Chain A
């Protein structure tokens, strides 16, 4: 490569930093949605590059479903403390109580849909006008259609048929009162880009991304962690397996993969030869229908 040439990771990095700075420049009260997963950890790393030696022009916000992995929560608190940035946590549990919401029922009842209530309440509470998230377009086909600056109405709804044209690298963040914008700086990254970047930048991750022993039940060929949040039926057999997590969502809707990968290099090797997509392998919530994500987004989900 010539002297004045950037490789793909450096190009993606610069694009993401540009987007983060646009958020800082265009909005009064932005927030960065942080879950303790690898994509939002990467976002925090990019924000450090975008704004240091200054402080972040936004707090980190976590919508805690109460079904999270403890390792991810610990990592979240530790990272926020380490970088000295403000962390706001709002709990789905509290929304359920305050609003008298009905908990979903069933074997792997997920609070995924209820999360949207807490998110919208939190947006209202702090009057956030922009929420930065770590969604990527390669994850899912509705996400493949979403703009980098995605305008949501006061109900948080995405209207895929009325998206603003998004040209060059000019992002139009103008909104009416009550609306907000979801911003996706790593839209153009793939799962493999994220892992390669994590390796290059030596970004620390929660331990559950690496091989560890865990009690799981096998359900329709997916391994689900044994936890108080899932219903164990008589037919279920709890077994110990060496697993790692490819994505980190709720314990109720994220499946583990059998793995001995104990380093980033091992993980990259496994992903490179994997024949299953990230969400296909690990997300139980996407299996509902072909348009599961599109429908959730239309209702205010990320």
Chain B
């Protein structure tokens, strides 16, 4: 059994929370007491129906207003897979919450209301999926019951969306007609939609091939913590503890430690106190080197044959997450894996319209939920790859030095 982390995106009334509720309900992942709780809360009690959307809205304010404000995580499992759902709000005002939920997603379900087809929000969510390089996209055309389960309506939407997908280079897109409210094609194949020959949604989610997305090239090991027992028996023990964010490490391999640039050899790799011959992403491990070089938190150990970029200037896309605008000359802390360095905004190259992908050159400042390309200068070298090549070593956050809040998501170029 492995894990699929996915996010659901849709406009306000596309039935996103209902879809998740239906997925949990029909796959028998909702328990009696949870069901009783939402039965009590269901406001418009028609005979025998409950509001499945209530399953995901966790905060009092969300239940009161009937909207999703922040990401909620939901968990369910089938014998094949464990699923982690990030239920994120779809409205533009909450783009930052969606990006939070999407950053760890391996798959995105984009909901489209069959009656309205591809709309601005569909494009925006797809653009975010493309920027964040979510490997798999499932387009769920919902509310098929309201268009008489029409094959024509469905394929018109498929054709419309296909051109969006092409323009965004989305690699793996699957389409499925559903009715979340009635459960058509969610867990069971729908009798109302006989012309659809594909698998129902849950089966699609169980079948998506994930191992190909694991980055086994260009090994990166950011040091999080140095283990030094300093006991008599382990007087000279110095272990670099961290998580392999990509690739494979092998005992005896020649490595470089950045940003010092010093070379050494992997003397041993330990997992759970036991020596192993090799370790791979996403394992947490302890590396010990044969030379006594003074590494510390924030350093990156890489195989000599697989070098990253080491530079004090970096171009990056920024999704801006804060009320205070970003402007040229502003200083932030850049947190990149275990390394934190001060950074100054040197230049804002362009602003990306997240609804159309159009670029507006030379903006003066950047507002909440906007996406821009900027150039940063850092106080110490950054050891990185481009986000496109290596998600974990190409992503970072910007932190406001005074409020200490996370204000920007950086996709390094």
- Taking Cβ atoms with an 8 Å cutoff, the residues of A that contact B are 1-2, 4-8, 10-15, 17-18, 21-22, 24-25, 49-55, 57, 137-138, 141-142, 144-145, 160-161, 163-170, 172, 174-176, 187-188, 190, 192-193, 274-277, 280-281, 290-291, 294
Contacts and interface: CB of A to CB of B under 8 A. Distances in A.
Among the interface residues A18, A165, A193, which one has the most CB atoms of the partner chain B within 10 A? Answer: A165
Interface in B66-101: 69-75, 77, 81-82, 84, 96-97, 99-100
Given A25-B297, A144-B72, A167-B395, A174 B104 contact: no
Given A5-B2, A290-B37, A55 B229 contact: yes
Nearest to A52: B273
B2 A8 contact: yes
A53 B406 contact: no
Interface string B273-312: 1000000101110000000000001000000000000000
Given A24-B224, A167-B409, A170-B337, A53 B229 contact: yes
Interface in B35-84: 37, 41, 57-61, 63, 69-75, 77, 81-82, 84
A53 B237 contact: yes
A181 B93 CA distance: 27
Interface of B: 1-3, 31-34, 37, 41, 57-61, 63, 69-75, 77, 81-82, 84, 96-97, 99-100, 103-104, 211, 214, 216, 224-225, 227-229, 231, 234, 237, 239, 241-243, 248, 272-273, 280, 282-284, 297, 321, 333, 335-338, 391-392, 395-397, 399, 404-406, 409
A132 to B, nearest CB: 14
B409 A144 contact: no
A45 B53 CA distance: 37
Nearest to A289: B60
Q: Rank and list the top 8 A-B pairs by shortest CB-CB distance, nearest first.
A: A280-B33, A141-B58, A17-B284, A174-B404, A21-B224, A54-B227, A167-B103, A18-B243
A142 B69 CA distance: 13
Nearest to A16: B284
Given A144-B73, A166-B406, A290-B37, A25 B283 contact: no
Q: Is the interface of B mostly helix, strand, loop or mixed?
A: mixed
Contacts of B272: 49
Contacts of B214: 4-5
Contacts of A8: 1-3, 81-82
B97 to A, nearest CB: 7
Nearest to A3: B280
A11 B243 contact: no
Contacts of B399: 172, 174
Nearest to A13: B284
A4 B224 CA distance: 23
Contact of A50 (B241, B321, B335): B241
A167 B406 contact: yes
Contacts of B57: 141
B93 to A, nearest CB: 13
B406 A172 contact: yes
A65 to B, nearest CB: 25
Contact of A18 (B34, B96, B224): B224
Contacts, number: 174
Contacts of B72: 141, 144-145
18 contacts: A5-B211, A6-B283, A8-B81, A15-B282, A18-B284, A51-B241, A161-B69, A164-B406, A165-B97, A165-B100, A168-B103, A172-B335, A172-B399, A187-B73, A190-B82, A275-B31, A291-B59, A294-B58
A275 B32 contact: yes
Given A145-B58, A168-B395, A4 B63 contact: no
A188 B71 CA distance: 14
Contacts of B74: 138, 144
A230 to B, nearest CB: 22
Contacts of B31: 274-277, 280
A203 to B, nearest CB: 13
A293 B282 CA distance: 33
Nearest to A14: B284
B26 to A, nearest CB: 16
Contacts of B405: 164, 172
B61 A161 contact: yes
Contacts of A7: 1-2
Nearest to B1: A8
